[in-house]
Amino acid sequence: MVRIDDLWDYDHPGETERKIVKLLEEYEPAGDTGYIAELLTLRR
């Protein structure tokens, strides 16, 4: 599991968004609701 703090790239927010979307696609089927919720709070 990727640490949320390691996802952020303040100089490239679009890349951060792509990473978040990719992780959501990976974790949603697994049903890890806590991690999914945390990722969703990071989306624009």
Number of domain units in the chain: 1
pLDDT in tens, 1-44: 888 888 888 899 999 999 999 999 999 999 889 999 999 988 76
pLDDT at 7: 85
**What HEC string does 1-44 produce?**
CCCHHHCCCCCCHHHHHHHHHHHHHHHCCCCCHHHHHHHHHHCC
pLDDT at 19: 92
pLDDT at 8: 85
Which range marks the domain in which residue 13 is found?
Answer: 4-42
Token pair in block for residue 21: 């979307």
